Amino acid sequence: MKADVITNWTETDTLQVYENKVYVRMRTFEDSTLSEDIQAYLYPTTLEFPKFRFFPYFFKEAVAADSLVYHGTVKIFDEKGNYKIGEYENGRKIRIKYYDPTGNEITYDEYYEELKYIRGRGDPDKGYGIFRIWGTKED
């Protein structure tokens, strides 16, 4: 039986502070289950979103965010129990392995089974181009 509302939260530990970035370890949970355990650089940035659908280029709202660049070990778990462990260096993928729920190594195609019919998505394991917007969603 699934809960009606999924509760997500992220625990962030600062590992090192630099002048223009912060090196962190982030653990994200969904309903008390670990879904991500990553090490990354966070770069502060601002994202702009259209304020109104009918005038997307005239009225924009700026939102503070962090650009996330993987660096170190990244573990990501999916809802089926599969998981991947990758090593990254400043956003560049060094190696990545995929596992089933029992810990047996599986192939890229087996891990991304549901994406095999979608083309043009790029590399789903890239270690950059990811943004985190902090706060709570307003209804």
Domain ranges within the chain, ordered by starting residue: 8-132
Segment 76-87 shows an average pLDDT of 90
pLDDT for position 119: 42
Q: Is the pLDDT of residue 123 over 70?
A: no
Q: Is the pLDDT of residue 135 over 70?
A: no
In the chain, the percentage of residues whose pLDDT exceeds 70 is 84
Q: Which of 23, 20, 125 is nearest to 68 (CA)?
A: 23
The answer to whether residues 127 and 92 touch, using CB atoms and an 8 Å cutoff, is yes
**C-alpha distances in Å from residue 102, one per residue of 31, 34, 81:** 21, 16, 8
For tokens 């394991």, the residue is 125
